[in-house]
Amino acid sequence: MAVEILKEKYRSKVGEVVLGATKDQGGTRSHTITVGGESALPFLHFEGEIPNRPVLALEVWDMVPGEWDPLFEKHYADVWSDPGAWAKKCVEEFGADLIQVRLKSADPDFGDSSPEDCVATVKKILEAVGVPLVIVGCGKAEKDNLIYAPIAEAAAGENLLLGVAELENYKAVTSACMANQHNIIAQSPIDINICKQLNILIAEMSTAMASRIIIDPTIAALGYGIEYSYSIMERARNGALQGDKMLAMPMIGNVGLEAWRTKEANTSTEAEPGWGEQEERGLLWEATTAMAYLQSGIDIMVMRHPDALKVIKANIDDLMKDNSY
């Protein structure tokens, strides 16, 4: 019996964004990474193009991440006092597609390192690895606004992904990206209207920047509101495919950071024997969070546990197989 396959006809597609630049393109990366470009819902190859596979970054901090669960020591303690070596291990040993550098030490409460220190860290990582970089500040707007411009300038030509821009604080980072042709993370608090509004404001500052935006819709971890961000992302992606230009950007999420804030990832086996073995539970908590966002349309995920990255990479391999009828 012939079944008439239902293929959605979409009017539009997600824009493509290239991260990084090789020597020929004015940078020093060994290769570039292209994200976005989908003209179908996640992995429904039968109705459109999924030209670029979702990519996975690992987190590198510019200081020893004292707040991480002690179980990470065996994976990172040998390198986490040296961001360059840390990044190298993530790429060479763990297979990260990208590195996300978090300039945590710029935080006035965590060392208050200077913009010059931050620039030095970024340069060090650029030298240590060839993959494109994502750079984010410490999360305190007043301080981050002082570091965006020097970093953007020092890494001119590298085609970074720099962030984050928020509705109340987007001008400094947008200007820094505009002046040196970097890409920008536009972060909105699980709210599709604010997401659009911020993209419009950035595009108003510079039309060229409109095609350099990566949306961070703010993701929650499994068990802590994941369904809200999942649905916001599904709506954003549907909007993009139906022709809403201000939603037609690739999306990024801090999966590792969020998953490893949860009780389920951080509680020891002894404290909760009913939940099973901690490290396996924690990395699957992270991987399950990632799995769900892949199904709602994410393009870049920042992971933390090397084995969570590995299992999600295998899942992406499987999902990228053609399923045309």
Partner 1 sequence: MGLTGLEIYKHLPKTNCKECGSPTCLAFAMALAGGKASLDACPYVTDEAKEALDSASAPPIKMVRVGTGDSVVELGEETEIFRHDKRFFHPTGVAVLISDTEDATAKAEKFEALEFHRVGMDYKTDMVAVKCDSGDAAKFKAAVEVVAGKTQKAMILMAEDPAVMEGALAVVADRKPLVCAATAENYEKMVELAKGKGCPLVVRGKNLGETAELVEKIVALDYKELVLDSGARETSKVLADLTQFRRLSVRKKFRPFGYPAIAFTSKDDPREEMIQAGVYLSKYADIVVMKASEKQQLLPLLSWRQNLYTDPQKPIAVEAKLYDVGTPNEDSPVYVTTNFSLTYFIVEGEVESSRIPSRILSVDTNGISVLTAYADNKFSAEIITEAIKKSGVEDKVNHRKLVIPGYVAVLKGALEEESGWEVMVGPREASGITKFSKDNFA
The CA–CA distances, whole Å, from 271 to 70, 72, 264, 278 equal 15, 18, 11, 10
Cis ω on the peptide bond leading into residue 164 (within 30° of 0)?
A: yes
Residue with tokens 């940078």: 27
Q: Which stretch binds partner 1 (CB under 8 A): 115-123, 171-179, 221-229, 240-248?
A: 221-229
- Is 53 an interacting residue with respect to partner 1 (CB under 8 A)? no
Cβ atoms of 217 and 188 within 8 Å: the answer is: yes
Q: At closest approach, how far in Å is the CB of 46 from partner 1?
A: 6
Distance CA 36, CA 214 (A): 9
Region of residue 157 (left: phi > 0; alpha: psi -120 to 50; beta: else)? left
The distance of closest approach from Cβ of residue 264 to partner 1 in the complex, given in angstroms and rounded to an integer, is: 7
CA dihedral angle for residue 162, residue 167, residue 170, residue 174, rounded to 10 degrees: 70
- Closer CB to partner 1, residue 44 or residue 79? 44
Site for partner 1 contains 168 (CB under 8 A): no
Query: What is the residue-wise DSSP string for 134-183?
Result: EEE--S-HHHHHHHHHHHHHHTTTS--EEEEEBTTB-HHHHHHHHHHT-E
Write out the H or E segment, with its range, that includes residue 19. strand 16-19
Asked whether the beta carbons of 186 and 202 are under 8 A apart, the reply is yes
Scan residues 259-288 and list those touching partner 1 (CB under 8 A). 261-264, 266, 274-278, 280-281, 283-285, 287-288
Contact 189, 140 (CB under 8 A): no
Contact 285, 221 (CB under 8 A): yes
Phi, psi of 98 (to 5 degrees): -140, 165
Distance CA 217, CA 231 (A): 11
Closest CB 144 distance from partner 1, rounded Å:
15
Single out the segment in contact with partner 1 by CB under 8 A; choices: 123-131, 143-151, 169-177, 217-225.
Answer: 217-225
Number of residues that bind partner 1 (CB under 8 A): 59
Distance CA(173)–CA(42), nearest Å, equals: 30
Give the CA angle between residues 162, 42, 9 to the nearest 5°.
115
With binding defined as CB under 8 A, does residue 222 bind partner 1?
yes
Nearer to partner 1, 89 or 313 (CB): 313
Residues 174-213 that bind partner 1 (CB under 8 A): none
Q: Is residue 94 at the binding interface for partner 1, with CB under 8 A as the rule? A: no
Q: Which of residues 208 and 314 has its CB atom nearest to partner 1 in the complex?
A: 314
The footprint of partner 1 on residues 230-249 (CB under 8 A) is 230-231, 234-235, 238
Among 151, 292, 300, 301, binds partner 1 (CB under 8 A): 292
Tell me which of 226, 251, 252, 301 binds partner 1, using CB under 8 A.
226
- Distance of closest approach, residue 147 Cβ to partner 1, in angstroms: 19
95 near partner 1, rule: CB under 8 A:
no
CB closer to partner 1, 61 vs 285: 285
Q: Pick between residue 146 and residue 228 the one whose CB is nearest to partner 1.
A: 228
- Between residues 185 and 292, which has the closer beta carbon with respect to partner 1? 292
Which residues bind to partner 1, rule: CB under 8 A?
A: 1-6, 43-46, 67, 109, 139, 220, 222-228, 230-231, 234-235, 238, 261-264, 266, 274-278, 280-281, 283-285, 287-288, 291-292, 294-295, 307, 311-312, 314-315, 318-323, 325
